[in-house]
Amino acid sequence: MAEIGLLFDGFGVALSPFNLMLMFIGVLLGVIIGVLPGLGGANGVAILLPLTFTMPPTSAIIMLSCIYWGALFGGAITSILFNIPGEPWSVATTFDGYPLAQQGRAGTALTAAFTSSFIGAFVAVLLITFLAPVVAGFALQFGPPEFFSVYLLTFCAFVGMSRGQALKTVVSMMVGFGLATVGLDTVTGQLRLTFGFTDLLKGFDFLIAVIGLFGIGEILLTLEEGLFFKGTRAKLSPRVVLETWKELPRYWITSLRSSAVGCFMGIVPGGATPASFMSYGVAKRFSQDGDKFGTGKVEGVVAPETAAHAAGTSALLPMLTLGVPGSPTAAVLLGGLLIWGLQPGPLLFVEQTEFVWGLIASMYLGNIAGLIVVLTCVPLFAAILRIPFAIIAPVILVICAIGAFTVHTSVADVYLMLVFGVAGYVLRKLDYPLAPLVLALVLGDRAEDSFRQSMLMSQGTMSIFFSNALVGGITTLALVLLFWPTIAALLKRARGG
């Protein structure tokens, strides 16, 4: 198979000492980011992105994606030791992780979480290795209508999968699209929504939005909860690790099922958070002692962690092959590709093989590096968590401010970050999902361009989105997903009646 050869070339790229060093730095930074409130995968990567502008793209993406893996690992530490999910996708990990820690089995819970994360990611990387070239090859035939229908699918999936809050998802997404249209129109050169403000000419940068919405908003939320870190002491002895590893193979069905759920939710942009909840729910239903879930079952840690990591990793598949990110962090990485002058999408696999396969190889290595780092450095990370909030909160805000400034070396962006922060705080409390906003902001221009090109091709009739089996199929799938709650309800009634 050609993939294997390319993958080994990729290992050659990723295994250079410089890239290996970046990998470990990335994972370490990522875990710290994942552990700290206010910093997460998406805004952590956004803040560090400007620092990588001068690096070779392959090294830069290796480091940034390793930050992402680290953040995925890090979320579990706070969930288990402190009952505070460091990341939204580790909320489900607290259900059984924290009770385990209270019973004095924190080491077991942590080992189970890290190992499951690793397995979930590994399955997802295998999937990427073999599926991504196929998808990319397929997508090479895509024209503007096909691309628009893929974007449509992405956004419809978001709306259809948002439980009960579909309207708020729509609003959030449309605000993202709206913000994306501000500034110079690339097709006609007209100014849109600028109202004479020169600061608005260049539009809204999604990096600023991510740092504000996720970073500042998160700190305000954490503050409100009056955060006190009352955690269990953490120690990870090799004996506990080995004992847990002996126990884990018992849950292989759960692992496999959770990986599948995770991969699916990552590729169809549902994201890691719903994947972890769904996987926890499924594991609970199918497990022999499902009724004991929530009291400290190792299986209850395995399920959400495997799924979250599988989803987080597989979210990179559509990002690389189609230019459609499956998660906010993948969206930030996509923004990075654009800044480095790489056009994400199927051509990447043809023109930038070294980059693509270097990245894929680094996913294997980065997750191994991640597992080593988290298993050995737990006391260090737990110590970081004990830094009092009165010190860590202003420091995080300073880091966010620096990150926002460095994007365009503009002080106005720092003000804007604060505005986005307050907006993020209020919107989050009102259950407006923020991920669709960020994704729409990133994809807005591309979606609009492909739509306008399609319209030009068809002279203005929408039927072009059904003009052949491929584009028609994707569009239909998008519409089915959009109205999925209604369709599911109808199906249920039909079956019942």
Partner 1 sequence: MSDNHSHDRSAASTRTLELVVAALIFLLGAIAAYDGNRIGAGWGIEGPQAGYFPFYIGLIICFATAVIFVRALWDRAKAREMFVSRSQLLLVFKMLVPSILYVVGVGTIGIYVSSTLYIAFFMLWLGRYTWIRTVPVALGVSVVFFLLFEVWFLVPLPKGPLEALLGLD
Q: Could you say whether residue 177 binds partner 1 (CB under 8 A)?
A: yes
Stretch of residues binding partner 1 (CB under 8 A), selected from 296-304, 337-345, 422-430, 472-480 = 422-430
Q: Could you say whether residue 168 binds partner 1 (CB under 8 A)?
A: yes
Question: Closer CB to partner 1, residue 117 or residue 450?
Answer: 450
Tokens representing 95?
């259900």
Q: Which of residues 33-52 bind partner 1 (CB under 8 A)?
A: 50-51
Q: Could you say whether residue 414 binds partner 1 (CB under 8 A)?
A: yes
Question: Closer CB to partner 1, residue 137 or residue 388?
Answer: 388
Q: Which of 256, 372, 456, 488 binds partner 1 (CB under 8 A)?
A: 456
Q: Which of 7, 170, 347, 479 binds partner 1 (CB under 8 A)?
A: 170
Q: Which of residues 369-408 bind partner 1 (CB under 8 A)?
A: 388-391, 393-395, 397-398, 401-402, 405-406
Query: Residues of 158-179 as b/e, b for ≥16 C-beta within 10 angstroms?
Result: bbbbbeeebebbbbbbebbbbb
Minimum CB separation from partner 1 for residue 337, in Å?
21
Q: Which of 11, 240, 347, 452 binds partner 1 (CB under 8 A)?
A: 452
Q: Which of 1, 2, 430, 494 binds partner 1 (CB under 8 A)?
A: 430
Question: Closer CB to partner 1, residue 375 or residue 422?
Answer: 422
- Please state, in angstroms and rounded to a whole number, the distance separating the CA atoms of residues 107 and 80: 9
Q: Could you say whether residue 55 binds partner 1 (CB under 8 A)?
A: no
Minimum CB separation from partner 1 for residue 167, in Å?
5
Q: Could you say whether residue 463 binds partner 1 (CB under 8 A)?
A: no
Minimum CB separation from partner 1 for residue 430, in Å?
6
Minimum CB separation from partner 1 for residue 408, in Å?
12
Stretch of residues binding partner 1 (CB under 8 A), selected from 147-155, 294-302, 419-427, 479-487 = 419-427
Q: Which of 302, 319, 427, 437 binds partner 1 (CB under 8 A)?
A: 427
Stretch of residues binding partner 1 (CB under 8 A), selected from 212-220, 310-318, 333-341, 489-497 = 212-220
From residue 101 to residue 140, what is the string marking binding to partner 1 with x (rule CB under 8 A)?
----------------------------------------
Q: Which of residues 181-210 bind partner 1 (CB under 8 A)?
A: 181, 185, 187-188, 190-193, 195
- Please state, in angstroms and rounded to a whole number, the distance separating the CA atoms of residues 102 and 100: 5
Question: Amino acid identity, residue 269?
Answer: P
Q: Could you say whether residue 156 binds partner 1 (CB under 8 A)?
A: no
Give the binding site for partner 1 (CB under 8 A): 50-51, 167-168, 170-171, 174-175, 177-178, 181, 185, 187-188, 190-193, 195, 216, 219-220, 223-224, 226, 388-391, 393-395, 397-398, 401-402, 405-406, 409, 411, 414-415, 417-418, 422, 425-427, 429-430, 432, 448, 451-453, 455-456, 460
